[in-house]
A and B are shown apart, each in its own frame.
Chain A
Amino acid sequence: MKIPFKYNLRSLFVRRGTTLMTILSIAFVVLVYVGVLALAGGLRVAFTASGDPRNVLVLRDGAKTELESFFDEEKRRQLAALSGVAKGQDGQPLASASVYIIQILKRTDGSESNVSLRGVEPAMFALRPQVALVEGRRFEPGRSEVIVGQSLAKRFPGLRLGNDIAFGRVRFKVVGVFDAAGGSFNSEVWGATRDVSDAFRRGSSASSMVLQTASPEAAARLVKVIEGDQRLKLKPMLETRYYAEQAGTNAQQFVILGSILAVVMAVGACFAAANTMFSQVSARAHEIGTLRALGFRRRNILTAFLIEAGLLGVIAGVLGAVLALPLNGLTAGTMNAVTFSEISFALRTTPNILAGGVLLAVVTALIGGFPAALSASRRQITALLRER
């Protein structure tokens, strides 16, 4: 016969001080785990939201990032004329060059970071329908105007709507703020290609080119076509892959940090759980003896204490997850290790991460509780009953 579940619940409640402290200690382990992984999760979302599976990004052969890449106008014309490139409503190819530059700017708190500035062609807006203005208007080419991703507008005082700001040797006016649906473009400043390259004396060379095709399959075909063209000497890749790699590079450090912290802290909390369960067992020796005398078997006792430990873990896990929930949506900024520039993102406590945290707590409590449960079930009835 099974020992009723109510017995476990009530036993935990009898020694609520001890129980609560153990629960809190495990809950904080979960909090740290979820918090650090939410950073990784947020970075991943910011990058994956940027890539479109139909798009092909073209860099100079040998360059790993847009920052290092450059090629001339002639090659860009050839790329835009390729047959796989889709046409927009105006009949023009859905292809836009980017002049990608980073420049040091001051954050609100006075610290400094590199900010991404991207000169784009009009087709870029047709290519990226997720980019929508939330304030102001689009820039007009030739007038030294820029629009700013909304994360940057918040974090860099110089980039507020209506401000004048020097990029290179030219002062630009911020005429609009845009949102790119949480993507990494939210951490970029956009202007017209010519205006940006003039400000930095880049001549006619651009950093990269993005080409939109009809479908992901067509994009894969276009990659092959460009790769096969020996005269171009360019490196095409699926845009989703480019951003997935950045997501990986940037998120990985937080995944490693979070995992190491979680494991070490969990081992520590395991011992706390062991302590609590041992004290439960020794305080209830008489009770256990009585249960055994009533006919409950050793394995019933083992199960009962394991359930109790598990229950402790579940409560702690859920509490830790609840404590971590307010982190969701908090914005953080760090350096994109690939382009060397500021990337803002919102922390994401995804269901997967939360579930991982709860699981961590349950496993911690079960491992911690097992030795105590085992010793409770192993002892002789007579010895148990003799204890006070």
Chain B
Amino acid sequence: MRKLALRNLLRNKLRTLLTVISLVLALVLLCFLTAFLDLLENTSAAADNRIVVRSAISLATPLPEAYWRRLETLPHVTGITPLNWYQGTFKDDRPENFFPRFSADPATVFEVFSELEIPAEQLAAWQQDRAGFVAGKALADKYGWKLGDQIFIKGDIYPVDVNLTLRGVFTVPAVPSSERQVFFHRRYLEEAMSNPGIVGTYFLAIDSPDNVAAVTKAAEAMFVNSDAQVRAETEKAFQLSFLEMMGNVRLLFTAIGLAVIVSILFIVANTMAMAARERTTEVAVLKTLGFSQGQVLSLVLLEALVVGLAGALIACGASALLIGVFSAGLEKVMPLFGTLAMTPRAWAIGLGLGLLVGLFSGLAPAVSAARLNIVDALRRVA
């Protein structure tokens, strides 16, 4: 039985090959779409015991520096650090030269972001140099920066340009994609603008994830009657809010994915139908020999499933390989806040849909082969 199905597939090698290739291409596409969506929704870099406090109006509106001391008084808060998105332009406007640049507080930033690791003497050197900066290792490697090197960033959001000296390089063993950022002294920026005392976001470390909800509520309540109300949320919710602003990305991707699947279903179903039609006489002979309806059905179905499985396996293997190559290339032209990877969901989509396409495409020809009337079939000339 099984042998017969495999032999049938090899009968028209070209056709089987063409079908598998088109199935592979479609599945690779779906794996990429899924991996990309997973990257956008990826919040693994978010700590579950940190909350973000920002202006309730929007991220473009800063909070007063005075909130720092007040937020510190909240129970369960073990650390607090301000971060301002400085942005600016490094070298030129090309996307490959874009990376996050924050003005930060050197005394507290590495305490609150405890997953960031930096040698103690480098941290001390940075803390002592107001015009110093620290960079993630991936970024320092990309530009070949060494301690003592100077960089110039032109301001855009802030009407101030900065000249910075590299004092330290940090690593983030858990999330290497977080190594693509730069921190410099917030006092440098503040003084250059004659001390407006503004903070973009406060990051609060909480003693336990269980207390996060309570602190979030308390932080918002603290400023509810003040001029600058705040929004407090978990780091994860904060990251997801960016995706939410982009509108319905998931719907767009799902719609595209569906069209791809429908298209590939037609392709594979077409091949299966062609294969089955050519063998009408043969199926009749098998039935004459005593093969049951069920056996004929499973014979044709098996053939389709093998095509589906082969396509799925090749596609997933190829995707895993290609995604690695692609994401390395992508990081050069368009740095993302993460690394594109073949996620479990991408594996599931690739394998599952491959098999489903095989099953559905084989169904109609299998049923009609099983129902075939021997006498009619033998009389008919293919």
Residues of chain A touching chain B, judged by Cβ–Cβ distance below 8 Å, are 17-18, 21-22, 24-26, 28-29, 31-32, 35-36, 39, 60, 62-64, 67-68, 101-104, 111-114, 168-169, 200-201, 261, 264-265, 267-272, 274-276, 278-279, 332-335, 340, 342, 388
Contact = CB atoms under 8 A, between A and B. Distances in A.
B1 interface: no
- Interface SS, A side: helix
B289 interface: no
B58 A102 contact: yes
B157 A68 contact: yes
Contact of B58 (A63, A64, A104, A270): A104
Nearest to B270: A21
Interface string B259-272: 11011101101110
B56 interface: yes
A342 B267 contact: no
B256 interface: yes
Contacts, number: 147
Contacts of B18: 271-272, 274-275, 278
Contacts of A112: 241, 244-245
B270 A25 contact: yes
B162 interface: no
A80 to B, nearest CB: 22
Contacts of A275: 15, 18-19, 267, 270-271, 274
B372 interface: no
A217 to B, nearest CB: 28
Interface string B1-32: 00000000000001100110111011011000
- Interface SS, B side: helix
A151 to B, nearest CB: 12
B227 interface: yes
B29 A264 contact: yes
A297 B209 CA distance: 80
Given A32-B259, A101-B57, A62 B159 contact: yes
B227 A261 contact: no
B60 interface: yes
Nearest to B18: A271
B246 A334 contact: yes
Given A21-B266, A25-B266, A278 B245 contact: no
Contacts of A24: 262-263, 266
B247 interface: yes
A67 B60 contact: yes
Nearest to B25: A268
B247 to A, nearest CB: 4
Nearest 5 A/B pairs, CB to CB: A28-B263, A268-B25, A25-B266, A21-B270, A271-B22
Nearest to A25: B266
Which of B25, B155, B241, B382 has the largest number of chain A CB atoms within 10 A? B25
B273 interface: yes
Contacts of A264: 25, 28-29
A102 B55 CA distance: 12
Interface in B228-281: 231, 241, 244-248, 252, 255-256, 259-260, 262-264, 266-267, 269-271, 273-274
A114 B247 contact: no
Nearest to B264: A268
Contacts of A334: 246-247
Given A32-B259, A261-B256, 17 more contacts: A21-B273, A28-B266, A29-B263, A36-B256, A67-B60, A103-B58, A112-B245, A114-B58, A168-B57, A264-B29, A269-B267, A275-B274, A276-B270, A278-B14, A332-B248, A335-B247, A340-B245
14 contacts: A17-B273, A24-B266, A67-B60, A102-B58, A168-B57, A264-B28, A265-B25, A265-B260, A272-B270, A275-B271, A278-B15, A279-B15, A332-B248, A334-B247
